[in-house]
Structure 1
Amino acid sequence: MRFLDLAETSAAVAATSGRKAKVELLADALRRLEPGEIAPGSAYLAGELRQRQTGVGYASLRERPAPAAEPTLTVAAVDALIAEISVVAGAGSQARRRELVAALFGAATADEQRLLVGLFSGELRQGAQAGLLADAIAKAAEVPLTAVRRALLLSGDLKQVAVAALTAGAAALAEIHLRVGTPLTPMLAQSASDVGAALLATGMPATVDVKLDGIRIQVHRSGDDVAVFTRSLDDITARMPEVVEAVRKLPLREVVLDGEAITLDASGRPRPFQETSSRAATRGAAARRKSATAPEAPGAAAGPADQLALVPFFFDILHLDGVDLLDEPGHVRWQALADALPPELIVGRTTVTSEEEAAAAFAAALAAGQEGVVIKAAEAPYDVGRRGSAWVKVKPRHTLDLVVLAVEWGHGRRKGWLSNLHLGARDPGTGGFVMLGKTFKGLTDELLRWQTARFQELATGDDGWVVRVRPEQVVEIAFDGVQTSPRYPGGVALRFARVLRYRDDKPAAEADTIDTVRAIGGHATPETSATPDKNATTEESATPD
Structure 2
Amino acid sequence: MKYQELVDVYSALEATTKRLEKTEIISEFLKKLDTGTIEKVGLLILGVVFPAWSSEEIGIGGKLVERAVAEAVGTTQATVEDAVRDEGDIGLACIKLYAKKSQMTFFSQPLTIDFVFNSLRKLSQISGSRSTNRKIAVILELLSQASATEAKYLTRTITEELRIGVGDGVVRDAIAQAFDIDKKVVERAQMLTNDFSVVAKTAKEEGSSGLEKLNLTPGTPVKPMLAQLAPPLEEIIPEMGVAICDTKYDGIRLQVHRNNDEINIFTRRLENITHALPEIVRLFDEHLPHENYIVEGEVIATRDGKPLPFQNILHRVRRKHNVEEAIENVPLKVYLFDVMYYQVPMIDEPLKNRRTILESIVDTSVDEMNLSTMKIGTAENIKEIQELFETSIKEGHEGIMIKDASEPYIPGLRGKKMLKYKAEPETLDMIVIGGTYGIGKRGDFVGSYLVALRDENNEFKSVAYAATGLDDATLEYLTGKMKELELSTKGREIKVEPKIVLEIAFSEIVESPEYETGYSLRFPVVKNIRKDKGPMDVDTVERLISMYNTGN
Fold match by TM threshold 0.5: yes
> What is aligned with 1:6?
6
Among candidates 522, 540, 543, match of residue 531 of structure 2: 540
Secondary structure of 1:369's counterpart equals coil
CA distance in 2, matches of 1:17, 1:494: 24
Is the 1:154–1:384 contact (alpha carbons within 8 Å) kept by the matching residues of 2?
yes
Q: CA deviation at 1:286?
A: 7.6
Q: Distance in 2 between matches of 1:119 and 1:202?
A: 47
Change (3 A) 1:286 1:325: closer
The 5 Å alignment of 1:322-333 reads: 322-333=343-354
When residues 279 and 20 of structure 1 are mapped into structure 2, their CA distance, relative to the original with a 3 A threshold, is same
Structure 1 equivalent of residue 503 of structure 2? 496
In the alignment, is the contact (CA less than 8 A) between 1:436 and 1:494 conserved in 2? no
Matched with 2:473 is none
CA, structure 1 residues 539+135, in 2 after alignment: closer, same or farther (shift >3 Å)?
closer
Deviation at 1:327, TM superposition (A): 0.6
Partner of 2:418: 391
* Offset from partner CA, 1:306-349 (integer Å, 9 cap, x none): 643333221101122x3432111112212222233245521223
Instruction: Kindly provide the amino acid, as one letter, of the partner of residue 419 in structure 2.
Output: V
CA separation in 2, counterparts of 1:317 and 1:446? 35
Instruction: State the 1:185 CA deviation.
Output: 1.4
Secondary structure in structure 2 of the residue aligned to 1:217: strand
Report the AA paired with residue 443 of structure 2: G
Match of 2:115 in 1: 77
Distance 2:196 2:493 in 1: 44
Question: Which is worse superposed, 275-284 or 63-72?
Answer: 63-72
The answer for the alignment partner of 1:135 in structure 2 is 173
Kindly provide the amino acid, as one letter, of the partner of residue 341 in structure 1: V
Which residue of structure 1 lines up, in the alignment, with residue 309 of structure 2?
A: 272
Match of 1:319?
341
Query: Secondary structure in 1 aligned to 2:117?
Result: helix
Aligned residue for 2:132?
Answer: 94
After superposition, the C-alpha distances for 1:221-279 in whole angstroms (9 at most, x for unaligned) are: 35654333333444443433332233223463343211122222122x22233332333
Output the amino acid matched with 1:188.
M
> What amino acid does structure 2 have at the position aligned with 1:319?
Y
Structure with more of its chain in helix, by fraction: 2
8 Å CA contact 2:249, 2:398 repeated in 1: yes
Closer/same/farther in 2, CA of residues 283 and 107 from structure 1, 3 Å limit: same
Shift of the 147–188 alpha-carbon distance from structure 1 to 2, 3 Å rule, reads closer
Q: CA deviation at 1:41?
A: 0.9
Aligned residue identity for 2:319: T
- The residue type equivalent to 1:53 in the other structure is E
CA distance in 1, matches of 2:484, 2:341: 53
Partner of 2:491: 470
Which deviates the most, 219-228 or 199-208?
199-208
Structure 1 CA distance for aligned equivalents of residues 157 and 389 of structure 2: 40
Residue 420 of structure 1, aligned match among 407, 414, 433: 433
With the length of structure 1 as denominator, give the TM-score of the two structures: 0.68
Which of these residues, 176, 196, 203, is aligned with residue 165 of structure 1?
203
Cα distance in 2 between the residues matched to 1:80 and 1:391:
41
Which residue in 1 is equivalent to 2:452? Answer: 441
Number of aligned residues? 455
Distance 1:349 1:332, change over 3 A: same
Is the aligned partner of 1:192 residue 2:229?
yes
Given residue 77 of structure 1, which amino acid in structure 2 is its aligned partner? Answer: F
Aligned counterpart for 1:432 among listed residues 426, 443, 451 = 443
Q: CA deviation at 1:76?
A: 1.6
Conservation of the 8 A alpha-carbon contact between 2:13 and 2:164: yes
Asked if the contact 1:278/1:305 (under 8 Å) is kept, the reply is: no
Matches of 1:327 and 1:314, distance apart in 2: 19
* Distance 1:449-1:254 versus aligned 2 partners, 3 A rule: closer
2:301 corresponds to: 263
Partner Cα separation in structure 1 for residue 65 and residue 328 of structure 2: 33
* Partner AA of 1:66 in structure 2: C
Matches within 5 A, 1:14-25: 14-16=14-16, 19-25=19-25
After the TM superposition, which of the residue ranges 38-47 and 10-19 deviates more from structure 2?
A: 10-19
Distance 1:273 1:356, change over 3 A: same
CA distance 1:22–1:447, change in 2 (3 Å): closer
Following TM superposition, by how much is the alpha carbon of 1:104 offset from its aligned partner in structure 2, in angstroms? 3.8
User: In the alignment, residue 496 of structure 1 is paired with which amino acid?
Assistant: E
Q: How much does 1:383 deviate? A: 0.8
Q: Tell me, in whole angstroms, the C-alpha distance in 2 between the residues paired with 1:84 and 1:35.
A: 21
5+ unaligned residues in a row in structure 2: which ranges? Answer: 67-80, 82-89, 100-107, 466-482, 495-499, 516-521, 539-552
Distance 1:504 1:126, change over 3 A: closer
Kindly indicate whether the alpha-carbon contact (under 8 Å) linking 2:314 and 2:531 is maintained by their aligned counterparts in 1: no
Which sits farther off after the overlay, 352-361 or 253-262? Answer: 352-361
| Structure 2 CA distance for partners of 1:152 and 1:512, relative to 1, 3 Å | closer
2:60 equivalent among 53, 56, 61: 56
Counterpart in 2 of 1:350? Answer: 375
CA distance, structure 1, for counterparts of residue 370 and residue 204 of structure 2:
42
Other-structure match for 1:410: none
Contact 1:138 1:145 (C-alpha < 8 Å) held by counterparts: yes
Question: Structure 2 vs 1, CA of residues 363 and 12 (structure 1 numbering), >3 Å: closer, same or farther?
Answer: farther
Distance 2:238 2:158 in 1: 37
Query: In structure 2, the residue corresponding to 1:442 is in which secondary structure?
Result: strand
Which runs of structure 2 are paired with 1:283-322 in the superposition (5 Å)? Answer: 287=324, 304=326, 307-320=329-342, 322=343
| Secondary structure, aligned partner of 1:39 | helix
Query: Shift of residue 25 of structure 1?
Result: 1.7
Q: Who is 1:183 aligned against?
A: 220
Q: What is the percent sequence identity of the aligned residues?
A: 24
User: CA separation of 1:2/1:357 partners in 2, compared to 1, >3 Å: closer, same or farther?
Assistant: farther
